[in-house]
Amino acid sequence: MSLDAETREQLISSVARFVREKLVPIEDKVSTEDRVPDDVVQGMRDLGLFGLSIPAEYGGLGLSMEEEALVCFELGQTSPAFRSVIGTNVGIGSQGLVMFGRQDQKDYWLPKIASGEVIASFCLTEPGAGSDAASVRTTAIRKGDVYVVNGTKRYITNAAKAGAFTLMARTNPDNKGAGGISAFFLPSNLKGITVGKPEKKMGQQGAHIHDVIFENCEVPADCLIGEKEGEGFKLAMQVLDRGRLHIAAVCVGVSERLVRDSTTYAMEREQFGQRIADFQMIQAMLADSKMESYAARCMVLETARKRDQGVNIAMEASCCKLFASEAVGRIADRNVQIHGGAGYVADYAAERFYRDVRIFRLYEGTSQIQQMVIAKSLLRNAS
Ligand code: COS
């Protein structure tokens, strides 16, 4: 679904204002205290941010992918830890259900996810299964009306706040490959689920990741997403295709913020009797950063529009994630460089963003995984 032009404009400008007035001023505090305040989370609920991608019939905003990207461009203009609050509900936590859920599952869960009443996390990664997502070892063995789940999930964003999990587990241990994996959507308060302590991370303080441990957890059989076992890997891949585009859009937003910060600083800072913005070597860095952020923006919008037209964008989403996440890394690095010594100390946002953006090249598939997806697609289509 797509909004009319006026509603779209209103939404984008409300998000931009919220970011500018409520989020940017507390970036540093959130980072230091490692916590997003409750009133800010409530503000996100009021704006409908938890339900960006949930169809309107379930109380979400039902945005098209292009509209979601436009919102991400705005949300990315501040510390990415804020985006993480809504990120799993909008993306990987909910989309398996949106794409493949049964009607009764959607009716029950999606309104709660859209309103932010329930936080949904995505449990795929394990200690032994990261890039090789098909090697999931967590098992879900059917016994009567339940699946008995055993295993450990790792680096699960928002797990401690989650009211529900999208879980990938092996329902057929005899099939060690992708076909043995099924997807479940289950409440987080079942007996046998423990959430570990938050990990100490390099950046994005305020956003948290945890282990989720399943020990003989009896998951009602109707928590299986859809009707059939063995569909979990393909579900995860399709959720990630979409998620990668979302992350690329966030990278664009952060890139644009950093280009602005670099330019502002270069115009304020004086050396050798003039502002450093007048030195061509500084200008070259500014120009490269702008070029890369603009290229990433164009790629994301083009791919989002294609997806909205129903085109399979698995390969293009990987192109976007690869380019935008690597670009924002270079842009954050140049931003530190332009700030000089000030870029290395925590008084300026440059140091924090440098750490914050590093994860973009890792989660929802590393840069090397995106290269694999792109190359595999090229070879498949050429043969
Ligand atoms: N959409 C639909 N189906 C897909 C798909 C996609 N994007 N990608 C793969 N599949 C299907 C394949 O068509 C294949 O189906 P068949 O067995 O019917 O032919 C099946 O899934 C297995 O595919 P493939 O052999 O390509 O899987 P691989 O084990 O080689 O893994 C990669 C492919 C590496 C791309 C995958 O494991 C991956 O994306 N890993 C990274 C995971 C990740 O992002 N982790 C981050 C944690 S989540 S925050």
Residue nearest to atom 2 of ligand 1 (CA): 234
Inter-residue contact 138 to 182 (CB < 8 Å) = no
Q: Is the pLDDT of residue 230 over 90?
A: yes
Percent share of the chain, pLDDT over 90: 97
Q: How far is the CA of 353 from the centre of ligand 1 (A)?
A: 31
Give the pLDDT of residue 220: 98
Q: Which of 56, 91, 115 is the last residue of a domain?
A: 115
Residue nearest to atom 48 of ligand 1 (CA): 364
Q: Which of 212, 230, 248 is the last residue of a domain?
A: 230
| DSSP run (H or E) holding 147 | strand 146-157
Residues near ligand 1 with C-beta < 6 Å?
Answer: 92, 124-125, 131-134, 178, 233-234, 237-238, 240-241, 314, 363-365, 369, 372-373
Q: Is the pLDDT of residue 77 over 90?
A: yes
* Integer Cα distance of 383 and 381 in angstroms: 6
Q: Do 210 and 272 share a domain, yes or no?
A: no
Q: How far is the CA of 241 from the centre of ligand 1 (A)?
A: 10
Neighbours of 369 (CB within 10 A): 20
**Number of domains composing the chain:** 3
Atom of ligand 1 nearest to the CA of 238: 1
Domain range spanning residue 148? 120-230
pLDDT-derived band at 1, boundaries 50, 70, 90:
low
Inter-residue contact 125 to 209 (CB < 8 Å) = no
Q: Do 192 and 313 share a domain, yes or no?
A: no
Give the pLDDT of residue 27: 97
Mean pLDDT value across residues 228-244: 97
Give the pLDDT of residue 4: 86
pLDDT-derived band at 356, boundaries 50, 70, 90:
very high
Ligand 1, from 138, 237, 242: best to mutate by most atoms within 8 Å of Cβ?
A: 237
* pLDDT tens figures, 119-139: 999 999 999 999 999 999 999
* pLDDT tens figures, 88-99: 999 999 999 999
Q: Do 375 and 240 share a domain, yes or no?
A: yes
For the chain, the average pLDDT equals 97
Active site residue ranges: 364
Atom of ligand 1 nearest to the CA of 92: 49
Q: Do 223 and 293 share a domain, yes or no?
A: no
> What's the CATH code of the domain at 259?
1.20.140.10
Q: Which of 99, 115, 131 is the last residue of a domain?
A: 115
* Integer Cα distance of 341 and 59 in angstroms: 48
The token pair at 179 is 């076909």
Q: How far is the CA of 81 from the centre of ligand 1 (A)?
A: 28
Inter-residue contact 99 to 240 (CB < 8 Å) = no
* Integer Cα distance of 83 and 79 in angstroms: 8
Q: Do 276 and 369 share a domain, yes or no?
A: yes
Helical axes 232-268 vs 80-90, angle rounded to 10°: 160
Q: How far is CA 19 from the centre of its chain?
A: 17
> What's the CATH code of the domain at 99?
1.10.540.10
Q: Do 179 and 213 share a domain, yes or no?
A: yes
Q: How far is CA 79 from the centre of its chain?
A: 13
* pLDDT tens figures, 296-348: 999 999 999 999 999 999 999 999 999 999 999 999 999 999 999 999 999 89
Q: What is the DSSP letter of 346?
A: T
